[in-house]
Amino acid sequence: MDFSGKQVVVTGGTGALGNAVVGALLQAGAQCIVPYIVEAEAQRFVHRGKVKLIEVPDLADEASVDLVYEDATPWASIHIAGGFAMGKVADTDKAALTAQLDTNLISCFLCCRAAVRAMRGGGRIVNIAARPALEWRSGAGMAAYTVAKTGVAALTLALAEEVAKDGILVNAVAPSIMDTPANRGAMPKADFTAWPKVEEVAATILFLASADNKVTRGAIVPVYGKA
């Protein structure tokens, strides 16, 4: 897949999956714009110096998102930024629910909005849903997260229908738990070999974001590995 001369925005690019996506994009010739919130993550970002890093206060804030896209003419916009929280419904207050909606759904919506406005002559948008967005019962014990990621899936399908005529293809991937150091630390007794590697998930994202993807739109692609 060739991204030579193509500008790509990657939110959440300094995280585990984001690092893999940005690395693959750079190898394919892309020019990457990576917004970040946490300075420490930006400092240890392995692709620092090879991308345009933009500090933003909050991707659930319109002004912050506009800052990312104001001078951009992206071919693709990949929205990895998000956050996870466990919590039974009985133990989840409005603040916790709102935090999950802001972090996962509102940020994705605003970035989709900005990307569509910034794209010229077509492009690609890839969102990150999650397995519970497709399998709601698996969201027991993390209902707020499940609601937010289900919203991302619904947004993806609705937007895909809206902008297909403009040559913009919109899709999402729905990962199961991925093999990252943080997830290994949280579940040390799990079978790590069953988890998809971030590089494997990144490969699916890159295809959906590429010009090689000529017809796929409105898809929520499961990337579960053997999990």
The tokens for 83 are 């956050």
Q: Are 128 and 176 in contact (CB under 8 A)?
A: no
The Cα–Cα gap between 53 and 69 comes to 12
Q: What is the dihedral of CA 109, 171, 2, 181, to 10 degrees?
A: 80
Q: Are 123 and 168 in contact (CB under 8 A)?
A: yes
Q: Are 167 and 204 in contact (CB under 8 A)?
A: no
Closest CA to 134 of 107, 156, 109: 156
Q: Coil, strand or helix: which one is 37?
A: coil
CB atoms within 10 A of CB 100: 25
The Cα–Cα gap between 130 and 141 comes to 15
Q: Which residues have C-beta within 8 Å of that of residue 154, sequence separation ≥ 6?
A: none
State the greatest distance between any 2 C-alpha atoms of the chain, in Å, as a whole number.
Answer: 50
Whether residue 36 lies in the annotated active site: no
The tokens for 97 are 């629910």
| Identified catalytic residue from 36, 69, 145, 224 | 145
Give catalytic residues, as residue numbers.
145
